[in-house]
A and B are shown apart, each in its own frame.
Chain A
Amino acid sequence: EAGVTQSPTHLIKTRGQQATLRCSPISGHTSVYWYQQALGLGLQFLLWYDEGEERNRGNFPPRFSGRQFPNYSSELNVNALELEDSALYLCASSSGQGPTGELFFGEGSRLTVL
């Protein structure tokens, strides 16, 4: 069974540009989560999508947005990139049953902003 897949693996952008990261959940999982792992800040919750709807959002500015498609895959968009957006962005999925903390993580997309 394929795990959570993320693309691209690495992405280099300059300040002010936009970045789009993609995530495909495990087959049968309807929930997708995004986390940011920045140096010195640890893992921080960004967004949770379930059944195409945004269910919860972390303390990030509106320029961080995303969506979930009918096939449950998801996209994270970061507009007006800033240097501090450089981080590993992790996507996770779950079946949405029981405590939602049992997440299955992808290997991440590393975003570098120059």
Chain B
Amino acid sequence: AQSVTQLGSHVSVSEGALVLLRCNYSSSVPPYLFWYVQYPNQGLQLLLKYTTGATLVKGINGFEAEFKKSETSFHLTKPSAHMSDAAEYFCAVEPHNQGGKLIFGQGTELSVKP
């Protein structure tokens, strides 16, 4: 069965520092890949997605992620953290031919220190 692993349940960075949230998936066939963000007491919001084509994907709020097939990774980065980035981030995959079924990682809570 496919799975998603997010390294680090909690990540803390200083404001202005680089944000790096790690995501690895297990699949023999590259699935569709997503990052979602969840702010407190809110639903999930799509940050970015990879389906095909360019492996560096840009999303909202200055985030980007790079699909690396050889490493089965889809790490999320942002050059400079802002206080408003504090939230929980979820990596997810959609296996091919499994429409509607996203498999989520356990989530990484990002804290941003002033």
**Residues of chain A whose beta carbon lies under 8 Å from any beta carbon of chain B:** 4, 31, 33, 35, 42-45, 48, 50, 55-56, 58, 90, 92, 98-108
Determine the distance from Cα of A72 to Cα of B36 in the docked complex, in whole angstroms: 24
A interface SS class: strand
Q: B77 on the interface (CB 8 Å rule)?
A: no
Determine how close the nearest CB of chain A comes to the CB of B22; give it in whole angstroms.
16
A-B contact number at CB 8 A: 64
Q: B43 on the interface (CB 8 Å rule)?
A: yes
Contact B99 A48 (CB under 8 A): yes
Among A42, A56, A104, point to the contact of B106 (Cβ < 8 A): A42
B99 to A, closest residue via Cβ: A100
In the complex, chain A residues whose CB is within 8 Å of the CB of B45: 105
In the complex, chain A residues whose CB is within 8 Å of the CB of B36: 105
In the complex, chain A residues whose CB is within 8 Å of the CB of B107: 42-43
A3 to B, closest residue via Cβ: B43
Q: A102-B46, A105-B45, A107-B41 are in contact. Are A45 and B99 (CB under 8 A)?
A: no
Q: What 0/1 pattern do residues 83 to 114 of B give for CB contact below 8 A with A? A: 00000001010100011111111110000000
